[in-house]
Homo-oligomer: A and B are copies of this chain.
Amino acid sequence: MTNHNQPLDILRPSGRAFDQLREVRIERHFTKHAEGSVLISMGETRVLCTASVLEKVPPFLKGQGQGWVTAEYGMLPRATHTRSDREAAKGKQSGRTQEIQRLIGRSLRAVIDMKMLGERTIQLDCDVLQADGGTRCASITGAWIALSDALTGLLQSGALTQSPLTDSIAAVSVGMVRGRAVLDLDYIEDSDCDADVNVVMTGAGRFVEIQGTAEGMTFDRADLDALLALAQSGIGSLTVKQLDAVKN
């Protein structure tokens, strides 16, 4: 029995309103070697996103006059409540890790003109220093800023004369928690929710990725509409913060 007329006073563990993002902090130039380096915090979730410019492309693109954008994702072993095994020590990345890094890469490729980028690769690395839910969305939102910084550097050095960025990209999770749609789930809500949807949208409000999953309870079309509306609003706010960050 889903109630779509949800009141503003829904009690979330964090005390946030149902349509309220966590506090977003963006620290650019967090490390010094990378061409773009951003520490993004969505509440207690903190992800270090670096963009590295590599003057080469993967084999399948060689000699085609175009570039590539790709991503890798990792979590420090004690980013989480209890320690997780180190993937490098186990000798392989989990299915979850691979799924997330593929998502990040696809998302960012959606706003890059690969021809204009030229025969180079922007390699994004999203490493979670502290996890409290929503790490993949924070990674995408932060990685876009690192990517933008790296491209600005290429423009300033004259390696590029025109930016290959066609729009901004941000991501947020929304979910049905105890029958109500809420925005930007933290870890407690994520563990407790019936269904969650990760939404990636451009600054212009177009969809790039929608990944909705119901492990606990299936959802209907009205639920989905409510969730997508929340996501759209949340991404609007994130876009403002991103554009503000790269302006300075």
Contact = CB atoms under 8 A, between A and B. Distances in A.
Interface of A: 31-34, 37, 44, 46, 48, 50, 52, 54, 72, 74, 76-83, 86-89, 91-93, 95-99, 101-102, 106, 109-110, 123, 125, 127, 129-131, 195, 197, 202, 204-215, 218-221, 223-224, 228
Number of copies: 6
Contacts of A130: 31-33
A36 to B, nearest CB: 9
A207 B219 contact: yes
Contacts of A205: 220
Contacts of A79: 31, 33
A43 to B, nearest CB: 11
A98 B44 CA distance: 29
Contacts of A127: 76
15 contacts: A33-B79, A33-B80, A33-B81, A37-B78, A48-B76, A52-B78, A52-B82, A88-B97, A91-B91, A92-B92, A197-B210, A205-B220, A207-B218, A209-B212, A209-B213
A33 B102 CA distance: 27
A72 B86 contact: yes
A38 B48 CA distance: 17
Contact of A74 (B88, B99, B208): B88
A65 B87 CA distance: 30
Contact of A44 (B32, B52, B208): B32
B48 A129 contact: yes
Contacts of A81: 33
Nearest to A93: B88
Contacts of A93: 88-89
